[in-house]
Amino acid sequence: MRTPPSSGILLLLCTAAQQEKRVHLCYQDWQGGESERDVDTYGLVYRGGFWYSTGYCHLRQGLRVFRLDRIKQVEIQEEIFIRPVDFDCVEYVLRSLSQTPTTWQVEVLLETTLEEARSMMSPAMAMLESVPQGVMMTCSFGHLENMAHFLTGLECAFLVIQPPELRDALHKLAARVEQMASRTLPEERVVRAD
């Protein structure tokens, strides 16, 4: 069940981003571990039913994305920062979500153009990069069976680079579809409405 972040946390982070003031926050990761860190919040993004904050984390010394419903406490600090002029919060959050570690790291060569590939999937699903042979799709995915279903729905040819288990999932899906396509009812059992 999705728990929305408290309005107080949302307001404090929004204020800190607008005023370019550092925040100190208590954050709980997806495994339940808690950490305290200072963050320069560049902006807030709402995506897929969740609010996210992105910015520079002084604990990890790099850019990070934080889900707001996992933030337990926020305090605005006196230190100020300067947000990078060309930083796109939405693009960074979408890219980060597509690379969030799950069970399988997937690489698939799509035999299409970058423009067509972008029209076939959400930027939160995968990173797309133009290469000489087409478009390289990279993402992290939890269930290869679901990825196999997704790929077969694309309107382009593709080549699985990794993992090899994705090819197995595609073969199983193809066999299942072939089996379903071959089924028929005996003529006497077909009931038609007049």
Task: Identify the domain containing residue 18 by its residue range.
Answer: 7-84
Identify whether residues 79 and 105 lie together within a single domain: no
Three-state SS letters, the chain: CCCCCCHHHHHHHHHHHHHCEEEEEEEECCCCCEEEEEEEEEEEEEECCEEEEEEEECCCCEEEEEEHHHEEEEEEEEEECCCCCCCCHHHHHHHHHHCCCCCEEEEEEEECCHHHHHHHCCCCCCEEEEECCEEEEEEEECCHHHHHHHHHCCCCEEEEEECHHHHHHHHHHHHHHHHHHHCCCCHHHCCCCC
Domain tally, the chain:
2
Residues 34, 104: one domain?
Answer: no
Instruction: Show which of 33, 57, 84 is a domain's final residue.
Output: 84
Same domain, 66 and 135: no
CATH of the domain at 141: 3.30.70
Domain match, 79 and 113 both: no
pLDDT digits (tens, 9 = 90+) for 46-90: 876 788 999 999 999 999 999 888 899 999 999 999 999 999 998
Residues 79 and 110 grouped into a single domain = no
Q: What is the pLDDT of residues 81-136, one digit of tens each?
A: 999 999 999 888 887 876 665 567 889 999 999 999 999 987 777 889 999 999 99
CATH number (domain holding residue 54): 2.30.30.520
116 within domain boundaries: yes
